[in-house]
Structure 1
Amino acid sequence: MTTAASEPTGSEPEPEVRTAAGVLRGSVDEGVAVFRGIPFAESPVDQLRFAAPQPVTGWDGVRRAVSYGPPPPQAGHFGMDALARESVGTDWLTVNVWSPEPYRGAGLPVMAWIPGGAYSIGMSSLPEYDGARLAREGGVVVVTLNYRVGMEGFAHLDGAPANRGLLDQVAALEWVRDNIGAFGGDPDQVTVFGQSAGAGSVAALLAMPRAAGLFRRAIAQSMPGTFFSAALAADIAAACAAELGLRPTVADLTTVAPDRLPAAGDAIMAKCASFAERWGPVAHRSIPFSPVVDGDVLPVTPWQALADGAGRDIDLLVGHTRDEQRLLTALDGMLGQVTEERAETALEVFAPGPDGARRYRDGFPGAGPDELYELVNSDWLFRMPSLHLATAQITGGGRAHLYELAWSAPGMGGVLGACHGLDVPLVFGNLGSGQPAALIGVGPSPAAEELSARMRTAWTAFAAQGDPGWAPYDVEQRLTQLFDTRPTVTAYPEETSRLIWRDHSIPVLPLLDR
């Protein structure tokens, strides 16, 4: 998709760089050189459908790089399927670069963004991911990327490698390693960062041998804790394929046009609850796709990998929002409407251990059904996986910095609190664009601008030096940066939840009934 920012502005000269595949000509956005829609792998269609990404073919002459590449096929959430259909072409695997100094030898830190979207949606062309402000004010080279989502990227199929979406991310990072110097970036100073499924991808990359050496630092914002066993992933893939009257094989599914395939995942998501006895918690949350611990591409969970020392030489910044679940409850139409029965079901499904539900009720004695429902869902899906990632990093001999975003979103009447996704516009500084910016309210307040500046400064300082500006987390003091109207550093604020989950490891999610 081409946005208004895609075309050259004014009379500024169009920047050119030479990459390994050929020469690119970009545009200029308020002093930042921008290159959009750069292919990092061949189009994964036809004979390359459901295959690992393949090296891109070069080109002769100068290639214009002023328009975003088309996104991969998308699920129907938030109208993303329709948005994807507006784009033409199958060059799904592209990167975009914003650089304040697009000259070889500048040696700037590089920040490579992995979009989120429940592993079912996600595209780098969304306006909230525009990297111009982060690059210009932070003195970094910003890269955003596309990767295959849904069945194309994460369905566990016979005849296809597992975790193709993650392999796409590795290929994009290999492109960064080989080419970012031409854009003024330092290939030895790469930070991967992402939110939600993007953060889960960052965590997976930390555990993947194929990604070793491709980045020096990692930022995981609201990491989801869903990592599937091969058996669970294969069973879900079989259910998706059955919606089309097909088997979960490459031979069968290549007969389906790419833009038709997401509908099968959407159909399964709509009736996920009927599979609860087989799929367990992910059926209750309607999560049909996640990284698969297959023993090869992803050998073990990120928590196990970090505890074993896989991230010892990687600087890690990880955190979550205070009210992760609030927005998701609102999207389900249940804000303020959670019944005692629904809260009890959530506690039984998501609280850890045989007495987890009782521990939540004892730990939060004044909480009604809405709060209990929000707490246990927030903890299971985002907050405790993020906290445990920091703890695993320390266990393995590495260093981690922890944060919580506690600032309440003023948009939508202020009912959403510090909800999931609020960090994205704050980190990029795009407070007036895209769906998440609706959380900020009309006309960003001085408080929002100030908080955004603080977070951008922390993120770019971390990318440059491995230090976001507060002390590392440890298991005794548990120092945590709280981003709020008045930011403070304090002991981890969700202490009751931490204690409930303290002795509980986050497992590979199994198939319950084979």
Structure 2
Amino acid sequence: MAADRANPVIRTPHGAVRGRWERDVAVFRGVPYAAPPFGANRFRPPLPPAPWDGVREAAAFGPTAPKPPYSEAFAQYLADPAVPGDDCLNLNVWTPDPAPGARLPVFVWLHGGALTRGSSGVPVYDGSTFARDGVVFVSVNYRLGVEGYGLFPDAPANPGLRDQLAALQWVHQSIGAFGGDPDRVTLGGQSAGAISTGALVAAPQTRGLVRRAVLQSGAPEITGRDKVRRVVRRMAGRLRIPATAEAFAAADRDQLLRVQADIGRLSSPILGGPAFGIVVDGDLVPRDPLDALIDGAAPGIDLLTGWTRDEYRLWLVPGGLVERVDRLGAVALAGAMARCRCGSEVPRGYRALNPDAGTAELVGQLVTDHLLRNPLHRLAEGRRDPSYVYEFAWPSRRPGMGACHALELGFVFDSGDKPDARKLAGEGAPQDLADAMHGAWVRFVTDGSPGWDRWGPHHPVRIYGDGAPHIEHGPRDRELALWTTPTASDTAPTPELRSVVRRLRRNGALRRH
């Protein structure tokens, strides 16, 4: 259907939607890609939305998935708007040319938030900057927490990941009408969105749906089924109901969120704890996605991957946890050893390489390497197709935050003028750094190369920090080499180390807020 300048109207497979022109970009918000996941659809794989007659208004962001709010400690840094309503399986499209035949590259974005928070409506994820530069941008809402990643004996696993697959299938079928090319789709995300991206790229069901992928501060991983079951059982115990999908579906939704948030306070990226995650399900996730990708599960797909220099500071600075970990000293290092399943040689090596670092910095970098840099190195090293690696090193103007987790988002999206971007970056974020980083992402989505050498024997890493972006070769190689020792790879946590972790969680020393 032709789109007129004042009021663009596009026909999707389920009905027509009317968007808005905003600064030469056509925007369609809250477009359903699946039916509301409640009632008979609760805890079930997504179903197509019911067709509608007439033209559906698509001017405002749609409902967000049920989620608890951030604590005050985190809310001062991160925005997480909530929109009420059951029709939460929706997406948004920004396009510079909403007409069939434009065949523009497409970037599909999966938000972060530990699979329990976040949405496509976070202001920093403003897709207009990508559309301004010739990319059709799509951002997706999906089920979170127990609704999306609870594991029950009477329901399929990973419904939130299946939502994301349904959104990808919608894009493949529908994006041509918005001016996009279904054969030039880049899937990307940050944190939990990057973990999800890795799982989807490795999945057999996405063959032909994705051409490139971006993994920001998140590596492909799986969570043990027993760990997720323990979260569900703890919730069931608090609610005094059976640990089944049927019983959870009958429970009060707000009470579910309160119990989930309370149990989630014991979880921490530093020491683990109860958490939801993607599990091997024998179908969409037949095996560990990292192993699958290294073994060639996604041939022909280019990767852009990276991390921030001080990821851990978002995990520790809110609530004054840096000082608390520094006071714990050797006890915190022992807990990190248990979290990373490594022997004492690894933290001793980190201390030798960084003699002036405090305990919190050593623990933070140790866990960051375990969760992010080490697996992303393995991924780049083990694939035949091009991989490009970056490090974001510009320090926030907010005290103590450094180049923390999620700080790079305002630069990737060139949305640093948003008040919500300044919550994390502070005032005075350099526009030239945003120009460089956003431009690299646009180039990668458009033609597969962000503008520097692909990963190879010399380990080129693009550094985005103070001053001009530049290449360093193997900037983390000395630390990551410590993980290749037999002790690092083979030693499981001892009962004593597990006891340390339990004590730290009980006394709240390293809780996630």
Question: Structure 1-normalised TM-score?
Answer: 0.88
User: Which residue, 429, 454, 465 being the options, matches 2:436?
Assistant: 454
Q: 1:390 to 1:436 in 2, by over 3 A?
A: farther
Letter in structure 2 aligned against 1:112: V
Q: Deviations over 1:311-359 (max 9, x none)?
A: 2211100000111101211124223442213432343223453233333
Letter in 2 for 1:118: A
Q: CA deviation at 1:168?
A: 0.3
Rate the CA distance shift 1:124–1:37 in 2: closer, same or farther, 3 A: same
Structure 1 distance, partners of 2:375, 2:406, is 16
**Bigger mean CA offset, 483-492 vs 351-360:** 351-360
Determine if contact 2:393/2:463 at 8 Å carries over to the other structure: yes
* Contact 2:312-2:364 at 8 Å conserved across structures: yes
Q: Which amino acid aligns with 1:341?
A: A
Distance in structure 1 (CA, Å) of the matches to 2:218 and 2:229: 23
**Where does residue 278 of structure 1 map in the other structure?**
none
- Pick closer, same or farther for the CA change 1:59–1:235 going to 2, 3 Å: same
Say whether residues 1:440 and 2:422 are aligned partners.
no
Does the 8 Å contact 1:112/1:190 carry over to 2?
Answer: yes
Q: Give the aligned partner of residue 140 of structure 2.
A: 145
Aligned to 1:156: 151
For 1:139-162, what per-residue CA distance to the aligned partner results, in whole angstroms no more than 9, with x for missing partners?
Answer: 100000100010000011121111
**Residue 50 in structure 1 maps to residue 43 in structure 2:** yes
Match of 1:93 among 69, 89, 92: 89
**Map of 1:176 onto structure 2:** 171
Q: Which moved more, 1:492-501 or 1:198-207?
A: 492-501
User: 1:229 Cα deviation (Å)?
Assistant: 1.9
Is the Cα–Cα contact under 8 Å of residues 70 and 87 in structure 1 kept in the other structure? yes
What is the CA–CA distance in structure 2 between the aligned matches of 1:465 and 1:22, rounded to whole Å? 32
In the TM superposition, residue 470 of structure 1 has moved relative to its aligned partner by 0.6
Following superposition, the deviation at residue 388 of structure 1 comes to: 2.7
Partner Cα separation in structure 2 for residue 256 and residue 76 of structure 1: 20
Q: 1:197-218: per-residue Cα shift (whole Å, max 9, x none)? A: 0111111112212222211000
Range moving further from structure 2, 259-268 or 499-508? 499-508
Shift in Å at residue 282 of structure 1?
6.5
**How far, CA to CA, are the matches of 2:47 and 2:490 in structure 1?**
34
SS of aligned partner of 2:185: strand
User: Residue 224 of structure 1 contacts residue 382 of structure 1 at CA under 8 Å; is this kept in 2?
Assistant: yes
Q: Distance in 2 between matches of 1:297 and 1:214?
A: 14
Shift of 1:441: 2.1
In 2: Cα distance, 1:225 partner to 1:376 partner: 18
**2:371 maps to 1:381:** yes
Once residues 230 and 491 of structure 2 are traced to their aligned partners in structure 1, the CA distance between those partners, rounded to angstroms, is 18
Moved more, 285-294 or 432-441: 432-441
Whole-Å separation in 2 of the counterparts to 1:351 and 1:110: 37
- Measure the CA separation in 2 of the matches of 1:508 and 1:113: 36
Q: Distance in 2 between matches of 1:505 and 1:158?
A: 33
Aligned equivalents of 1:85 and 1:364: distance in 2? 40
Match of 1:205 in 2: 200
Q: In structure 2, what is the Cα distance between the partners aligned to 1:85 and 1:241? A: 28
SS in 2 for 1:192: strand
Give SS of 2:250's match. coil
Matched, 1:407 2:397: no
- Aligned-residue sequence identity (percent) comes to 37
1:18 aligned partner, one-letter code: R
For the 8 Å contact 1:421–1:436, the answer to whether it is kept is no
User: Which of the residues 365, 370, 379 maps onto 2:355?
Assistant: 365
Output the CA distance in 2 between the equivalents of 1:376 and 1:46.
44
Give 3-state SS (helix, strand or coil) of 1:128's partner.
coil
- What is the rounded CA distance, in whole Å, between the counterparts of 1:333 and 1:356 in structure 2? 26
Where does residue 310 of structure 1 map in the other structure? 297
Q: What amino acid does structure 2 have at the position aligned with 1:16?
A: V
Report how far residue 224 of structure 1 moved: 4.9
**Alpha-carbon shift at residue 380 of structure 1 (Å):** 2.4
* Distance of aligned partners of 1:66 and 1:458 in 2 relative to their CA distance in 1, 3 Å threshold: same
| Equivalent-residue separation in structure 1 for 2:312 and 2:58 (angstroms) | 38
For 1:172, give the aligned amino acid. A
SS for the counterpart of 1:23 is strand
Given the superposition, is the C-alpha separation of residues 179 and 451 from structure 1 closer, same or farther in structure 2, using an over 3 Å criterion? same
Q: Is the Cα contact below 8 Å between 1:324 and 1:382 reproduced in 2?
A: no
Q: CA deviation at 1:269?
A: 1.9
Q: Where does 1:269-280 land on structure 2 (aligned, <5 Å)?
A: 269-272=264-267
Decide whether the 8 Å contact of 1:222 with 1:386 is kept in 2: no
More displaced stretch, 110-119 vs 429-438: 429-438
Of residues 58, 67, 71, the one that matches 2:64 is 71
State the superposition RMSD in angstroms: 2.6
How far off is 1:406 after superposition?
1.2
TM-score (norm 2): 0.88
- Structure 2, unmatched stretches of 5+, are 500-513
Deviations 1:371-399 (A, max 9, x none): 2122112222333233333223x2xx222
- Determine the C-alpha separation between the residues in 2 that align with 1:505 and 1:146: 37
The superposition leaves residues 85-142 of structure 1 with CA deviations (integer Å, 9 ceiling, x where unpaired) of: 9633200100100000111100000000000000111211111112112211x21000
Residues 271, 336 of structure 2: 8 Å contact kept:
no
Counterpart Cα distance in 1 of 2:97 and 2:84: 31
Counterpart residue number, 1:4: none
Residue number in structure 1 paired with 2:310: 323
Q: CA deviation at 1:452?
A: 0.8
Moved more, 375-384 or 317-326: 375-384
Equivalence for 2:227: 232
Q: Shift of residue 12 of structure 1?
A: 5.5
Q: Is the 8 A contact 1:317 1:400 kept in 2?
A: yes
Hey, what does 1:134 align to over in structure 2?
A: 130
Deviates more, 1:352-361 or 1:326-335: 352-361
Taking structure 1 as reference, are residues 382 and 262 closer, same or farther at Cα in structure 2, changes over 3 Å only? farther
> 2:338 maps to what in 1?
349
Superposed displacement of residue 232, structure 1: 2.2
Q: Which residue of 2 is the match for residue 469 of structure 1?
A: 451
- Aligned partners of 1:217 and 1:140: how far apart in 2? 14
